[in-house]
């Protein structure tokens, strides 16, 4: 059960010169409040909209990943990869799956957010819509609070494309999809990036007929074609229809569901489904915050402009998390929130560093990356070479009868420095931190190749891919050294 808004209320200071006001309630805002408290600063945490915890715990990462795992359990039970095994799986009670998800969300919101604040007397929670009322002032619930510094961490919301008829027809977003207690027979997914692909596969594995309509010529258009085309093939093999190069023209709803009219390759086509999922990106929560009135610069999409120290164009006012735009991960939001608060409270000039930032798309197989791919390296003027290890060369994958995907390493041969990696593999994200640390600490690729990795583990893929820069793994024994 959530606590009342003044459960953690500390005595108001005389004047706000030493106080940090944080607007928001998600991971960036929460991390900012905790960091300021650790530094001995009084904090007012003002939140409105989603419950405390923001997108990730309430309508994003937590509900999506637990439902992805539920769908995966169903799919794997129904599709054994081994000879002599015959099994079936039934989604007997989809509402029970959703209720279990709700319980997990409630437990994590309480345990990881509400309870964490309970003993922090310097942090005062206020439920209400905060608005910047001056360079060091915030208005909320009819009261104007003075502040020494302000951190804006109001997050983002689903961005819905301006397609004629879409609003009238109705649509799902991640904020409503994960609350459905009845599985739709068919879903048209608008979008082809992280959220769209994860939700599409989850729905398809539970039993919905899924069609993806993607504006770009490829899904995950920011990634290289070898990766995206392989992933598209795996998704299509599970029965998902993927259409790319799509220009949406109109949406209509009738008693039979929804109809989406689109233009693809110069031809007019129609797609029918029971529901539409809009997963075409995120829009910042910056409206009616008073930011532009005090001189805070926004970009053309409304995201707050900041420097690498998370400072806005207004002295004393910082911003962090999804409200400033990419990369928009929960872990980068928390990192930015803590960094913004530390800089705001201490006056430091610490800069964010994403040179070895790992990221994941939780499809199956997972898409994961860190550092630069070969195109990005070339654009940066770097001479690189590439090693690609198909999972058909990985003993772990062979034993599991699942050789979908590959591990790709990108290095600078002159220095033998790893500059990036891209992974397409079941549970491939588990390889990321070894590679991230190798990039961050400039560990030579030869060290990765010579390090001992346990046999029949996924981690052995890193060793084999590193070896592949200098020799063919086809000529190695099963326990390559």
pLDDT of residue 49: 87
* Averaged pLDDT of the chain: 95
Q: What is the pLDDT of residue 408?
A: 99
For residue 59, name the pLDDT band (cuts at 50, 70, 90): very high
| This prediction's pTM | 0.94
- 70: helix, coil or strand? helix
Q: Is the dihedral of CA 31, 34, 36, 39 positive or negative?
A: negative
Give the pLDDT of residue 18: 84
pLDDT value at position 480? 59
List CB contacts of 155: < 8 A, sequence separation 6 or more. Answer: 24, 26, 28, 50, 54, 55, 284, 285, 321, 322, 323, 333
Judged against a pLDDT cut of 90, whether residue 76 lies above it is answered with yes
> Would you say residue 87 has pLDDT above 80?
yes
pLDDT 10s digits, 130-164 = 999 998 999 999 999 999 999 999 999 999 999 99
- Residue 62 confidence (pLDDT) above 80: yes
pLDDT digits (tens, 9 = 90+) for 108-128: 999 999 999 998 999 999 999
Q: Which two tokens stand for residue 7?
A: 């459960």
Q: pLDDT class for 16, splitting at 50, 70, 90?
A: low
Q: Which residue has the higher pLDDT, 472 or 204?
A: 204
DSSP assigned state of 428 = G
**Peptide bond between residue 178 and the one before it cis (omega within 30 degrees of 0):** no
Question: Contact at 8 Å (CB) between 65 and 54?
Answer: no
Reported as a pLDDT band with limits 50, 70 and 90, residue 479 is low
- Cα–Cα distance for residue pair 16/148, rounded to 1 Å: 6
Q: What is the mean pLDDT of residues 419-434?
A: 99
Predicted confidence (pLDDT) at residue 11 exceeds the cutoff of 80: no
DSSP for 343-359, please give it. HHHH--------TT-EE
Domains of the chain and any CATH numbers:
20-157+283-346 (3.50.50.60), 161-279 (3.50.50.60), 358-474 (3.30.390.30)
- Computed from CA positions of residues 200, 201, 206, 209, in that sequence, does the dihedral angle turn out positive or negative? positive
Q: Other CB atoms closer than 10 Å to residue 159's CB: what's the count?
A: 16
Q: How much is the pLDDT for 476?
A: 82
Cβ neighbours of residue 444 closer than 8 Å, sequence gap 6 or more: 415, 416, 417, 418
DSSP string, 170-220: --B-HHHHTT-SS--SEEEEE--SHHHHHHHHHHHHHT-EEEEE-SSSSSS
pLDDT at 135: 87
pLDDT of residue 256: 85
State the DSSP code for 391: G
Helical packing angle, 194-206 and 61-78, nearest 10°:
40
pLDDT at 311 over 60: yes
Count other Cβ atoms within 10 Å, centred on residue 43.
28
Please say if the pLDDT value at position 9 is more than 90: no
**193 within 8 A of 200, measured Cβ to Cβ:** no
Residue labelled with tokens 């790992």: 358
Q: What is the pLDDT averaged over residues 330-357?
A: 98
Per-residue pLDDT of 187-240, as tens digits, reads 999 999 999 999 999 999 999 999 999 999 999 999 999 999 999 999 999 999
């Amino acid at each position: 059960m959530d606590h009342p808004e003044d459960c953690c209320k500390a005595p108001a200071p005389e004047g706000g010169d030493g106080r940090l006001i944080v607007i928001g309630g998600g991971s960036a805002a929460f991390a900012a409040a905790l960091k300021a408290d650790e530094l001995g600063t009084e904090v007012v945490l003002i939140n409105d909209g989603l419950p405390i915890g923001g997108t990730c715990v309430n309508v994003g990462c937590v509900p999506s990943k637990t439902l992805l795992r539920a769908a995966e359990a169903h799919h794997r039970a129904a599709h054994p990869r081994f000879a002599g095994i015959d099994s079936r799986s039934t989604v007997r009670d989809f509402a029970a799956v959703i209720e279990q998800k709700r319980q997990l969300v409630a437990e994590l919101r309480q345990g990881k957010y509400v309870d964490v604040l309970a003993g922090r007397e310097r942090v005062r929670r206020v439920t209400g819509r905060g608005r910047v009322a001056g360079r060091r002032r915030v208005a909320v619930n009819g009261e104007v609070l003075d502040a020494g510094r302000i951190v804006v961490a109001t997050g983002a919301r689903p961005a819905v494309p301006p397609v004629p008829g879409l609003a009238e027809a109705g649509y799902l977003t991640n904020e409503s999809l994960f609350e459905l207690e009845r599985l739709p027979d068919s879903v048209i997914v608008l979008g082809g990036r992280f959220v769209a692909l994860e939700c599409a596969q989850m729905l398809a594995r539970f039993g919905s007929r899924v069609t993806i309509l993607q504006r770009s010529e490829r899904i995950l258009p920011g990634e290289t074609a070898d990766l995206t085309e392989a992933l598209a093939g795996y998704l299509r093999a599970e029965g998902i229809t993927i259409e790319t190069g799509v220009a949406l023209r109109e949406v209509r709803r009738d008693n039979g569901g929804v109809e989406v009219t689109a233009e693809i390759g110069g031809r007019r086509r129609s797609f029918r489904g029971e529901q539409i999922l809009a997963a075409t990106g995120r829009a910042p929560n910056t409206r009616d915050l008073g930011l532009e009135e005090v001189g805070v610069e926004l970009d053309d999409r409304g995201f707050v402009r900041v420097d690498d120290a998370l400072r806005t164009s207004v002295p004393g006012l910082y911003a962090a998390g999804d409200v400033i735009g990419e990369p928009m991960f929960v872990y980068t939001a928390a990192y930015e929130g803590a960094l913004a608060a530390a800089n705001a409270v201490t006056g430091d000039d610490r800069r964010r560093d994403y040179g070895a930032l790992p990221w994941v798309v939780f499809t199956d197989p997972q898409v994961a990356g860190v550092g630069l791919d070969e195109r990005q390296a070339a654009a940066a003027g770097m001479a690189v070479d590439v090693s690609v290890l198909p999972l058909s060369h990985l003993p772990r994958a062979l034993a599991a009868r699942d050789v979908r995907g590959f591990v790709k390493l990108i290095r600078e041969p002159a220095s033998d420095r790893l500059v990036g990696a891209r992974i397409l593999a079941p549970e491939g994200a588990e390889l990321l931190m070894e590679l991230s640390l190798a990039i961050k600490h400039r560990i030579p690729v030869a060290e990765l190749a010579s390090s001992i990795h346990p046999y029949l583990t996924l981690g052995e893929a890193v060793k084999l891919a590193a070896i592949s820069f200098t020799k063919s793994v086809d000529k190695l024994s099963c326990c390559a050294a």
